[in-house]
Amino acid sequence: MIPQYASALLISDLHLTPSMPLTAQRFFDFCEKDAPQVEAVFILGDLFEYWVGDDAALHSPFHQEVKHALATLSTKVKTFYLHGNRDFLVGNHFLSKTGMTLMPDPYKINIAGSEYVLCHGDSLCTADIGYQVFRGWVRKSWIQKLFLRLPLNWRRSIANQLRSNSGVQYQRAMQSSIEGTQVKTNVTLAACAAVLRELAGNQLIHGHTHLPQHHQEQLLDQEWQRWVLSDWDLDHPESGRPRASALLINQDGVRYADLIKT
């Protein structure tokens, strides 16, 4: 049976890190003030800038503060978590300490009487063949076990290198594209259609692309709606308008809730 909730807030791509204190503080405020207003909260991946193992969080005051905020939130509302491309190594130890429920990707849920398919979104970027090959390898359990056995400083070094390479490739793609939303790092219609067929749905919610928008889409005789969640960044005003929003779903429908404090 599909889980059902009367109301929910959905967020993704906060990329929490100690070097972004304003963004982190907005998340702590979200957990304390905004999130308890609904019945369920869904975090659709990339809550953290990177995650190299639950053991690393044990030695980080910042991650302990995030864990405490999530644990407190989970005592008030149902809190769900879905792995992103930056934090797919978030494991059972951290999840158990926060009280969050791990969702598979994709996942189908009923909110306020309507069904939605939830996913992080990176699996939908099928035009980026190189990334999909990489994703397939790093999601293998034996690869993850080997990685988690490496010394912690090695794991951090590898994660930082991967982050650097990803950022450079994304910027190059955006600069070479006439229409920024058409770069290969965006989702494809075929991938969206396939996941909705698989789960018998026609409403899709995801993050990952940092391109928040509501889409009405069609491929052949299949039609659907798609909502893209925003990333959060209150610490880099030079990169554009500060960003922090959630998708609110309740009896009044679906809308983006601006979380930027004025």
**What is the distance between the alpha carbons of residues 150 and 153, in angstroms, rounded to a whole number?**
8
Q: For all residues of the chain together, what is the average pLDDT?
A: 91
Give the per-residue pLDDT at 163.
75
Give the per-residue pLDDT at 181.
43
Give the per-residue pLDDT at 169.
53
Q: Would you tell me how many other CB atoms lie within 10 Å of the CB of residue 45?
A: 29
Residue-wise pLDDT for 185-206, tens only, equals 799 999 999 999 999 999 999 9
Give the per-residue pLDDT at 172.
52
Of the candidates 94, 105, 89, the one whose C-alpha atom is nearest the C-alpha of residue 156 is: 89
For the whole model, what pTM was predicted?
A: 0.91
Percentage of the chain lying above the pLDDT 90 cut: 82
Give the confidence band of 41 by pLDDT, cuts at 50, 70, 90: very high
Beta bridge partners of 248: 9, 255
CATH of residue 168's domain is 3.60.21.10
Give the confidence band of 241 by pLDDT, cuts at 50, 70, 90: confident
Look up the domain containing 16 and give its range.
Answer: 4-258
Total number of domains constituting the chain: 1
